[in-house]
């Protein structure tokens, strides 16, 4: 896969979804992204930068556990960091509003 295979988020997102077919992995991604959002809000509300230090561990920790142990694939973050981050939030929103199901298979 070449580094420039995807030229837009719109092109990348279907690939992203194909790499997130496991229910447990989707739940872990959802939890991690929710905790990231809460940590950022907490950091702002409490004026405490330590909340922000937790962001990469919460976001990547939950997601990578999902990939390595349940999806058994390599996170797209390694090759497409910006598209992958944006897609995490898109998937979070779509799971939250019911556009995407947690259970795919």
pLDDT at 1 (0 to 100): 46
pLDDT at 3 (0 to 100): 56
Q: Give the global pTM.
A: 0.91
Long-range Cβ pairs for the range 61-67 (8 Å, 24+): 61/32, 62/28, 62/29, 62/31, 62/32, 62/35, 63/28, 63/29, 63/32, 63/88, 65/28, 66/20, 66/22, 66/24, 66/25, 66/26, 66/27, 66/28, 66/29, 67/19, 67/25
Locate 7 and state its tokens: 């030229």
Q: Mean pLDDT of successive 10-residue segments in the chain (105 residues)? A: 79 97 97 98 96 96 97 93 97 97 88
Cα separation of 46 and 32, whole Å? 20
pLDDT at 29 (0 to 100): 97
């Amino acid at each position: 896969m070449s580094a420039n295979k995807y030229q837009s988020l719109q092109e990348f997102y279907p690939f992203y979804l194909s790499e997130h077919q496991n229910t447990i992995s989707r739940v872990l991604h959802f939890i991690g992204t929710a905790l990231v959002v809460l940590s950022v809000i907490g950091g702002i509300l409490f004026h405490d930068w330590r909340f922000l230090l937790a962001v990469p561990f919460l976001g990547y920790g939950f997601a990578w556990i999902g990939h390595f142990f349940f999806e058994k694939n390599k996170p797209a973050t390694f090759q497409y960091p910006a598209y992958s981050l944006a897609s995490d939030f898109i998937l979070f929103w779509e799971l939250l509003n019911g556009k995407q199901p947690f259970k795919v298979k």
